[in-house]
Amino acid sequence: MFYKLTPINDLAKPFVPYNGKCFCQIVRARTEKQARQAASEQAQGEGSKAWLDKKITRCEKLSSSGEAVVLCQDKRDPLE
């Protein structure tokens, strides 16, 4: 199973300022708990706790069926 983990609010701590932070992780795992743990182990400047906390990040189960689609593309403009 694949999971997509992203911030619930990427304009809040610990995701601002943007420099050196990870905003999306696609993880292969059997459970959401395993997915969150794996994501936390690859954390950047946002810190590992962000990926474990359901109040800070969402964890969406991805389906393997359906039409071709880009699963992750994370572009950022510098904050003014």
pLDDT tens-digit map of 51-77: 999 999 999 999 888 888 887 777 777
- Domain positions in the chain are 2-62
Which tops the pLDDT comparison, 46 or 65?
46
- Cβ-contact 35, 57 below 8 angstroms: no
- Phi, psi (degrees; rounded to nearest 5) at 22: -100, 135
Q: How far is residue 58 from each of residues 6, 52, 54, measured CA to CA in Å?
A: 6, 10, 6
- Provide the whole-model pTM: 0.83
d(CA 69, CA 50): 27
- Cβ-contact 13, 45 below 8 angstroms: no
For residue 80, name the pLDDT band (cuts at 50, 70, 90). low
Structure tokens of 78? 């510098």
